[in-house]
Each structure stands twice: as structure tokens, then as C-alpha cells.
Structure 1
Amino acid sequence: MRAAQLSTYQKWSILIGASVMLSLSMGMRQSFGLFQPSILHDTQITSADFSLATAIQNIVWGLTQPFVGIFADRYGSRYVMLAGVVIYALGLVTMIFATTAVTLTFGIGICVGIALSCTASSMSMTVGSRTVAAAKRSVTMGAMSAAGSLGLVIASPLAQTLISTAGWKIALVGFLGLAAVMLPAAFSAGKADKIEIDKADDLNQSLGTVVQSALGHSGYVVMALAFFVCGLQLVFITTHLPNYLAICGLDPSLGASALALIGLFNVFGSYAFGWLGGRYPKQLLLGGIYIVRSITVAAYFTFPATPTSTLVFAAVMGSLWLGVVPLVNGLVAQLFGLRFMATLTGIAFLSHQVGSFIGAWGGGLIYDHLGSYDVAWKGAVIIGLIAGSFQMLMNTRPPKAKEDVGAALPSAA
């Protein structure tokens, strides 16, 4: 069955399932920073331990994403997504009983990291791209990213309310309820496995040949390296903003409000960048996001934090939050088609997660040693400006077809 042959019900059930899965998966993950003060108070775990566990989550996510993509491209996405939900739940259960850094790292780091490879942006965007025509692909991915951000609007207030009234362990039980909702969503999204890829979106080459072509394409390499900055900046904010606000003596609920506002404004920002990506050069929009983010971070951290400045900062960052997702995935599809999209976005995402690792762990390490986040945010601003400039100059010409050498990596069925 081709995408054009899908009924309206079939198409919407796939897109809604993928969006719900992405929404809850990312919403919980981006709210983990709210648990840091309580976990540090009730256990022997330190800020550096929590930061390292979060950093390991991001690097595990990045390292496993290409292999998860290969498996999904070969055998189908449904099995991958359902397994990811189960592993996510295992990670949450482990966190509930965590009293040491090792246990916390296994739960929030290893389990959740693997689960995100199976349930977050790479898989959901791959599913969405298969479901609609090429002309609607960018705006559809933008809409899915927008819907995906609603999870933060749900998860962040839920976590903060339960932490304040019943404790952080009960809040994690609440997250288990959200994970349960992800199961039917993943099953529904998996219907995209039955959709055949149009010839225009299939280079008719083996996976090894396409990967070799991508790694030799200057534009793809620049995009992947610039993606590093996205991970560093966003994870630094979600992991350390609640602690930064506590240091500034502001109400703990402000952190939850800021994260929820990020999620709310991301709804509009993601859809807008998906729409714009179908009409204007994606590389210019992507580079612009990195640059404006960096300027916003510099403006916020230069002056003393207040409730008003924090909420304005959250609104601006939210509008730029996941707008990168439809643009990056759109560029991959533009350059290499859809056949191995999950694999190629997974490889690029590894760079993103290296940045996330540094943003999470490096931020905590700098704070523990220097007593402030000044060096961390200044570094994030500088590399963001550099990366955004290079991203705008990216080569967007598709590679010339190469002879298929039947590379070592398995080809898709």
C-alpha cells in the first residue's frame, strides 16, 4: 500500500499515534530536571551524579539511535517502538528505587536512553514521512513536532504537582501512567510499516552505499556537526535551569512553569518551522535557530534571573525548541530519500547527543567546581554562533548516484 492509498482514518491513526508517543516520551524526559532537588535531598546522590546520569542517557540515546534505525529500516518500526515503551517503563521503575548513583544511572541513563532511541523524534519523524506526500512532508513533521511538545505541557506540571504534594517517587509512578498510554500509540504508529516507499524517495542502493555517500557529503557532515549545538544547549537548559533558579532563590514552581511554557510555545514554533521549511531553504532556517537561541541564552544569563525574565526566556526558547526536527529530517529526505531515513537521521543524531552529554554533565561539573554556571552558558553561546553560521552555508545538493558496492551493512528488506 502506498501513502496515497491510505484512508483518512488510517493516515490520522498513524500520525496521531506517532505524535502521542513522541509527546509523552519527550515530555517525561525533558521534565527529569524537576526531580533533581528532591533526589539530591533524599539520597546520597550529588548534582554531579545526577548530571552524569542524564549525560549518559543522552550518549546512550545517541549511540543506539543508528542501530535502532538500521533495525527499523530492515524489520519495521512497530517492534522497535513497542520495545522502547517497555524499556522506558523499566527505567522509571528503577528510578523509583534508586538510592545510589549507579542505580539512578541505570534507570535514567541506560534504560531511558535506549527507550528514547525507539520512541522519540527519529522514529516518529520516519513514520510521519512515510505517511504523507512529499509536498506535505515538511509541514506534517512540523505539526508532529508541535504535537510532541504538548507532552512537556502535561508532564512538567504533573511532575511538579506530585513532587510538591506526594513526593518524587509518586511523581514517577504518575510517569508510569503516561508510559502506559504510549503502548497503544506505538502500536498504532507501527501501521506505517505497511506503506511502500515511492520510487522518487528510494535511491535503490544498499544501506552501506547510502551511508558511505552520506558520510562523504559535505552538507550532511556540516549538518550533523552543527546538530551537536542543539543537543548541548537544550539539555543544559532542561537539566540545570531548575537548579539555577533554586540558586537564585526563586520559587521551585517557576522551573516547572518555565518548562511548561517552553512546551507550549514549541507547539507554535515547531509547526511554523515545518511550514517555513516547505517554502524556504531549510539550512538557512536551521542556522538561524542556532544563532537566535545563542543570543537568547546570552541575554538571559547576563542579567539576574527574575520570574518575568525566566518566563520570557522560556517563551523565546520554546518557539525555537523542536523546530529543528522537521528541518533536519527534511534535509535528510531531500538529500537521500526515505528508504534509510531512520538510519541517516540516527547517525546525525549521535552528534546531537554528544552535545547533550556535554551539556548535561559538563554543566554539573562546572557548577560543582566553580560554584556557578557562567563558563557553561558562555561556552554554549560561542559554539552556537559558530555552528549556526556554518549551517547556513551547508551544501544542499543531493549526492550523485554511486555504484552500489554492497557495503557491509545489511540492506533493507
Structure 2
Amino acid sequence: MNPPKLSMLQVLVCGAAIVTLSMGIRHGFGLWLLPITQERGWTRQSFALALAIQNLSWGFIGIFAGMLADRFGALRVLLGGAVLYGLGLAGMALAPTPTLFALTAGVLTGAAQAGTTYAVVYGVIGRQIAPERRSWAMGMAAAAGSFGQFLMVPVEGWLITSLGWQQALLALAAMVLLIAPLALGLREPGFRGAAPPRREQTIVQALGEALRYPSFNLLMAGYFVCGFQVVFIGVHMPSYLRDHGLSPQVASYALALIGLFNVFGTYVAGMLGQRLPKRQILSFIYFARAVAISLFLLAPLSPASVYLFSAVIGALWLSTVPPTNATIAQIFGVQHLSMLGGFVFFSHQIGSFMGVWLGGYLYDTTGSYDIVWYIAIALGVFAGLVNLPVNESPIRRSAPQPA
């Protein structure tokens, strides 16, 4: 007998609030670069390395957070993630050396994000919401995370101005603990007993099946490109604009526009995923990114062209998230959705690391970001092509695999 389901409203409200807090706080970490490095006397490279480690930690530990959420339910993972997030933010405030800063802002905070963001929340959505509403619901959760990014940056800026950078981080450490009571709303009925629900596959069987399935690897390749593009643009575009004589305010408005239009893009992508083949949506997004970047580089650079580019790229920013995760659920089912989503997201984070690192390395080597922009265009075309042959049909298993 199947356990009762949580209400869709409860799942969406609690899941969206959790993602808003978790994603919103991390989106403003760049605001602390100058205050921390200037007061501590550290290099900017020390701060950037900690955030690069954070991306890798988030991606790698996300695989295991997904496994735990699939086996024991999202509640325990979210509670642990909330505690780690609070400790990570407090560590950022109090770390006296770059090494300790890398361990707290990097490893610890990355682990916290692995347990409080999309992979875990999407696992609950996949298990608790009917397939005909699943892609839309994932789009709603992604839109909430996007709104959090738009909302929390000015909040964090106000906290730094009002309290100072150190007290602002401690205030956020207290704020992020709100994830714990919100997680109670995602306590799934099937995980309330001592024994987890019976599964047709073990973790090893599910992972082996996915890695042998070509479409899963194509989705991972596309997500790598997504990470490369968005993190390169998010981190290096302000410097690119400053190098070309535009004021810092233009960069600030550009990032805000990306966050704002991201809300609409993720919601629309999730909604369209209920009506159109998701592989076509993903291909369109990647091709559109390549076109948008090409036109941005060809057009005369001005505040107007920057704002137009930011609005377009913002609509395409995280719009890959709902159709990618919904496709995984549609192909493999929802029993191991958090774990499989975590594997795909790890590919995204490797791309993120490459985008932020290669941008800095090639700029230092050549004195220009041009090569990285061209790589981002080529990767967009590549991702658009590899998503076209993705087979979205549920996988056919010859016989039930004993767990």
C-alpha cells in the first residue's frame, strides 16, 4: 500500500522557501570579497579559491546528500544542511587564516548547499507530485530560488552597511537556520517509520543503469556547459564591463536583471516541460545562449546593450534546471531521483569551476576575455546538439532487480 502524499501546496511553499534562503544567501557572497580581503590582508585569489572549492564541494557532496535523501527522506538531510550552513557562515566571519576560510566558506558551506538546494528538494517534488504536474512544480521551485537571488543581494548589502561584514555573516548564520522548521513541511510519509520504503534497485544498480544509458550522459554533458557559462558570466562579466570603461553601477544593474528575468525563465521552462519534449526545450536554451553571447560581442558595448543581454541571458540562466531534472525523473523514475540529480549537478559544478578558473587564467595570460567568450559560444552549440537525441521515454527494465 502506497503511503499518503503531501499536499502540493505544502511541498511548493516549504520547498520554495528553503531554496530561496539557500540559493539567495550564496548569490551575494561576492559582496564580501573586498571587505574580507581588505581587513584580513588577504589576496583576492584566496577568497576566489574558497568559492571555487565551495562549488566543487557542493557538487561532489551533493551526490551523497542525494543518496541519503532518497534512502532516509529529505527531512534529515535538510536539517543537517541547515546546521552546516549556519556553521559555515559563522566560520566565514571568524576564520583567521585563508586555510580556515577555505574550509568553512569552501568545504563546509558547499556541503551545506548540497543538502539544502535543488537535488534534495526536487527529490521530494518528484516523489510527492504527480508526473503531469512535476515539471511545472520544479519550475516553480527554481523560480523561487531565482527570486531569492534577486531579493537577497540587496538584503545582504544592507546588512553589511548596517552591521559590518562580520556581524552580517553571523546574522545570516542565524537566518539560514529557518530552513530547519521549513524542512518539517517536507517530511514524507513513507520515511516516517524506522525502515525506509522498499526499493526495486539498490543505489549501485540505479547508478550503474544511469551511467550505461546514453541519454543520462548527454544530460550530464549539457549541464557541464550550463555551469561553465553561467559562472563565467556571473563572476567575470563585471570585470569585463569595467575593462571596457563602463561604470560599476552598470554591472550591478546587469546582475540584478539576470536574477529578475531568471524568475520568469525558470517558471516558463517548467511550464513548457509539461507540454513540449524537454530535450527540445534544453536544446533551444543552449542554442539561444550561444546566439545571445554572439550578438552581445558583435554589438557596440553600451549600458543599453548590457541590460538587453542581461535580460535575455537571465531568462535562460537556470531555465535548464526544471527540464533536466524532470527528464531524469521521467526516464528513471523517482526512487533515486535526488542521487541521480546530484550526479548530473556534479557535472554542472565541474563546468562552474572550469568557467571561473579558465576565465581568470586566460585573462591573465592574454589580457582579454575574448577566448573564453568564444569557448562559451562553442559549448552552447555543442550542448544544443547533444540534447537533441536524448530519449525521454521511461527506461524499460527486463525484470525487477532484487534490492
The answer to whether 1:151 aligns with 2:148 is: yes
1:199 corresponds in structure 2 to: none
Query: Deviations along 1:270-300, whole A, 9 cap, x unmatched?
Result: 1111111111110110111112122223333
Task: Look up the match of 2:117.
Answer: 120
Matches within 5 A, 1:14-413: 14-98=11-95, 100-163=97-160, 167-191=164-188, 194=191, 204-302=200-298, 305-403=301-399
Structure 1 pair 294–53 and aligned structure 2 pair: CA distance change class (3 A): farther
Q: Residue by residue, what CA displacement relative to the aligned partner does 1:80-134 show, whole Å, maximum 9, x if unpaired?
A: 0111111111111122234543233222211121111101111111112222211
Q: Look up the equivalent residue of 1:103 and give its one-letter code.
A: L
Instruction: Please state whether the residue corresponding to 1:49 is helix, strand or coil.
Output: helix
Which amino acid counterpart does residue 279 of structure 1 have in structure 2? R
Q: Structure 2 counterpart of 1:176, which letter? A: A
Describe the SS at the equivalent of 1:185: helix
Identity of aligned residues (%): 37
- C-alpha distance in 2, partners of 1:169/1:302? 42
Is contact 1:54-1:360 (8 Å) kept?
no
Contact 2:11 2:186 in 1 (8 A): yes
2-structure distance, mates of 1:373, 1:73: 41
Cα distance 1:376–1:103, how it changes in 2: closer, same or farther (>3 A)?
Answer: farther
Does the 8 Å contact 1:31/1:238 carry over to 2? no
CA distance in 2, matches of 1:176, 1:152: 17
Q: Is the 8 A contact 2:285 2:384 kept in 1?
A: yes
Structure 1 residue 395: Cα displacement: 2.7
Does the 8 A contact of 1:286 with 1:327 survive in 2?
A: yes
The residue identity in structure 2 corresponding to 1:326 is P
Counterpart AA for 1:49: S
Q: Deviations over 1:325-369 (max 9, x none)?
A: 110111111111111111111111111111011122222333334
SS of residue matched to 1:119: coil
- Counterpart of 1:50, as a letter, is F
**Alpha-carbon separation, structure 2, partners of 1:15 and 1:337:** 20
Q: Unaligned regions of 5+ residues in structure 1, if any?
A: 197-201
Cα distance in 1 for residues equivalent to 2:91 and 2:5: 44
TM-score using structure 1 length: 0.88
- 1:210 partner SS: helix
Letter in 2 for 1:19: A
Query: Which stretch shifts more, 232-241 or 175-184?
Result: 175-184
Aligned length: 399
| Cα displacement (A) at 1:223 | 0.8
Aligned-pair RMSD on alpha carbons? Answer: 2.6
Q: Please, which runs of 5 or more residues in structure 2 have no aligned partner? A: none
Alpha-carbon distance between aligned partners in 1 of 2:263 and 2:396, rounded to the nearest angstrom = 37
Deviation at 1:373, TM superposition (A): 2.3
